[in-house]
Structure 1
Amino acid sequence: MATLEAFRSFDFDGDERWRQYEANIEIPPGRDRDSVLKKFKAKWYKREIDPDFDIAQAVPASSASTAPQRAHTSRDVPKESTDASAASPPEHQSTPAAASPPPTPTPSASRKARPGKTASTERNLFVLHVLQLLLGLGAVQPLFWLVSARSWKAFLAVSALCHLYKVIIKHGVPQLRPFPGALKQWVLPASSSTDFQYLMLCMLFLQSRPLALVVVPIWTLALYHAVAYAGSRFGSTRLWQQYGAKLQHILSAYQGQALIFNAAAEIGAGILLLLGLLTPQRSIMLAFVYWRAFLPTRYNTPDAAGYHRQVWQIIADKTRPVLQAVPMLRIPIDFVKRSFDQPR
C-alpha cells in the first residue's frame, strides 16, 4: 500500500523531530532495540505524519504483543499539526492524532475526555481542509479584488474553525472552573501546538487587509492533510493510483522543505507588516503583536523552532555584508533577537 511505502521510505534519520524523540526513548534491558524502535517509529509516524497510518502494517501483531511494557520517552515532542499525514509536514500548520492514548485529563483540565480521531471527525476535517484550499486560492488570486477580499475573510474563518476543532480533538474542551487555574491548565499544553498558534494567527488577521503570505503556511498544511485523507480513503482506486499517489509521494518527499517554506512565509509576513508601517494602510498594533507574540512563539516552539532558526540563519548570511557596511542596523536587530531568545 502507498501508506506503507511512504512509511518505509520516510527519512527518519534526516528528521530533527524524530531524532529528538528517539533521544528520549528509554528501552528496558533485555529488549530487542531494533524491534522496539520499529514500533516507536510506527507510533511516532502515525502521530506526527499520518494519522491514518495503520501501525499493524509496519508492526505485526506478534511483534506488538511482545512490545515493551513499556519503553517510554522523558517528554513528548510536539508536532507541527495535530492532523499531519504521510504526505504531511508534522504544524502546522498550523497542524494542527496520537499513536498511543493521551493521558486522561483531570476534571479541571477539560469537561470530558478527549474525543480523539474517529471516522466522522476525519471526514469533517477533510471537508474543512478542502474549503481552506478553495478559499485560499480565491484569497490570493490577483484578478478580482472583491473575490479576494471575501475569500480572505472566509478562509481565515474556516481555518480558525478547523484549527480550533483540532485543538479540541487533542486537548478536549477547557473548563472555566475553578477560574483561572483550570483554564491555565488547559492553555499551557494547548498553546505549544501549531494548531493553537494558527488559530491565534487567523483571529489576529481576521479584520486586516489580505496578506498572501499569511495564507501560505495554513494552506500548505491543509493541502498535506487533504491529500493524506484522500490517499487513505481512495488509495485503492485506479484514478488515485494514477494521479493522487504520485502527488502524495512528492509531498511526502518534500515535507521538510515545506516546513522551511512555511517558516519563511511566516517570517516574510512579519517583514511585510513592518514595511506596511510606511504606508497609509499601516497597522501598528498588528505588527507589534505579530513580532512580539506570534513570531517569538513560533521561534521557541519545539515543532517549529528548527525551521525558523534555519530561515533566520539564511537571512543572517544574506544580510551580513549590509550589517558590516551599516553597523547601526545591528541595534534594532539585536533587540529583536534578544526578545526572541527570551524563554516563554
Structure 2
Amino acid sequence: MTEDQQHKKEAAVAYDYDGDPRWADYWSNVLVPSHLAARPEVLRHFKLKFYQRYVDPDLVVDPLSAISSPRSSSNSEPRVQRRSATGGTTTRQQSPPASTASRSSFRMDPPTIQFLANAWVTVMAVLAMFPFLPYALAEKAYRLTLLGSAATNLYCIANQHGAPATWNLQGLQDWLRSIFETTGNDFLYLLYAFFFVSASIPLKVAVISLAIRSLEQVVYHLRRNFSNTRLYRKYLDKPSNWVASNSNLLKSLSANAEIGLGFLLIILLLTPQRNIIQAFVHWRLLKMMYALPSTAPYHRSSWSAIGRRVNPLIHQYAPSLATPMAYLQRWFVS
C-alpha cells in the first residue's frame, strides 16, 4: 500500500460516519446476514466503501475476504479408498449428489426473500398507478402493494431483531427502541403501509414512496448478484445504473409524495370522506421522518422549498396566520 493510500485509509477510518446522515441510509440498504453485520471487520469494510463512494473516490478498498467457519472432520466430504492393480491404494473424492447441490444453489436466504418481496411490491405499485387499468384491478393492486410492503418491512424487522426477549412492558419497550434505533426506516414504513391499507379510500399517491423504496432495494440486489449475467447486461444494466445514480432524486420525489399526501389528507377532512385518525397518524409519521437520519435530509429539503414559497404569501396576504404557523412549525421540528 502506498503512503498516499495509507493516509486516505486513515482519514476514512477517522471519518465521522454517525454524523453523516447518508451513512445511516447506506447501511440500512446493505443486505448482510445478522451474524456477519456484527463483526467489526465487516462494518469497517462497508464504512470504507461508503467513504469511497461519497467522500474520496480515489480510495482503494480491499475486497472483503470470505468468512467461513472451519469444517469439522465429520462434515468433510467422504473419501473412498480403492486398491489399484499394482497393489497400492488410490484415493478419490466422492462428489456430492446432484440433488443436494441443486437444493443448496436454490436456497431461499433472507436477502433473496427480501428481493422477491420488493420485486412484488414494485410490480404491484406500477399496476396500481397504471392509468388504463380497470378500477377494480387497480384497487386490488393498490391493496397488494401496501400489504406486500408491510409484510416485507415486518420480515426485515423480524429477521434482524427476532422476538422480544421478555413479553412484558419493559421488554417490549426495549425491543421497540432497538428496532427504531437500527431499523427505524423499516418500522416507519411498516406503520405507513398498515394505516393506508386499512383505509377505506384508496389514495394512489401513497404507493409512490413504497414503489421507490422497493425499486432501490431490487436494483441493489440485482447489481450485487446478477451484474455478470447476460440478461442483466442486455436489459437491466442501464436502468439499474440510472436508478443507482439518481438515488437522491428518487428519495426527494418520495419525500415530496409523502408531504403532498399529508396535505391531501387535510383537504379530505373537509369532505365526507374524511379520516381524522389516518390524517393524524400520517402527520406523526411525517414528523418522525423529519427527524430520522435516513429520511431527514430529503424531508427537510422539501419543507424548506415549501417554506420559501409559502411564507412570503402568508406574510403578504394573511399575516394573521403567521403566529399559528410558527406554533405549528415549532411542534413539527421539536
Tell whether the 8 Å contact from 2:128 to 2:139 is kept in structure 1 after alignment: yes
Deviation at 1:173, TM superposition (A): 2.2
Residue 27 of structure 2: aligned partner: 47
- Could you say if the C-alpha distance between residues 40 and 134 of structure 1 is closer, same or farther in structure 2, counting changes exceeding 3 Å? farther
Q: What TM-score do you get using the length of structure 1 for normalisation?
A: 0.66
Residue 122 of structure 1: aligned partner: 111
Residue 313 of structure 1: aligned partner: 304
Tell whether the 8 Å contact from 1:130 to 1:226 is kept in structure 2 after alignment: yes
Letter in 1 for 2:207: V
- What is the distance in 2 between the residues matched to 1:158 and 1:285? 23
- What is the distance in 2 between the residues matched to 1:341 and 1:276? 24
Letter in 1 for 2:128: A
What 5-or-longer segments of structure 2 have no aligned partner?
18-22, 33-39, 48-52, 54-66, 68-106
- Could you say if the C-alpha distance between residues 157 and 191 of structure 1 is closer, same or farther in structure 2, counting changes exceeding 3 Å? same
The alignment partner of 2:271 has SS state of coil
- What is the distance in 2 between the residues matched to 1:280 and 1:189? 40
Structure whose CA Rg is larger = 2
Instruction: Say yes or no: does 1:136 pair with 2:122.
Output: no
Residue 35 of structure 1: aligned partner: 9
Deviation at 1:295, TM superposition (A): 1.0
Residue 289 of structure 1: aligned partner: 281
Alignment of 1:1-344 (within 5 A): 32-37=6-11, 47-51=27-31, 120-143=109-132, 144-177=134-167, 179-192=168-181, 193-208=184-199, 209-291=201-283, 293-325=284-316, 326-342=318-334
Deviation at 1:37, TM superposition (A): 4.9
Tell whether the 8 Å contact from 2:29 to 2:217 is kept in structure 1 after alignment: no
Letter in 1 for 2:179: A
Tell whether the 8 Å contact from 1:174 to 1:186 is kept in structure 2 after alignment: yes
- What is the distance in 1 between the residues matched to 2:111 and 2:126? 23
The count of residues paired between Structure 1 and Structure 2 equals 252
- Could you say if the C-alpha distance between residues 152 and 175 of structure 1 is closer, same or farther in structure 2, counting changes exceeding 3 Å? farther
Q: Which of structures 1 and 2 has the larger relative contact order (alpha carbons within 8 angstroms, sep 6+)?
A: 1
- What is the distance in 2 between the residues matched to 1:151 and 1:269? 19
- What is the distance in 2 between the residues matched to 1:167 and 1:333? 37
Tell whether the 8 Å contact from 1:300 to 1:340 is kept in structure 2 after alignment: no
Residue 97 of structure 1: aligned partner: none
Letter in 2 for 1:138: L
Deviation at 1:258, TM superposition (A): 1.4
Deviation at 1:303, TM superposition (A): 1.4
State the Cα RMSD in Å. Answer: 3.1
| Identity of matched residues, % | 25
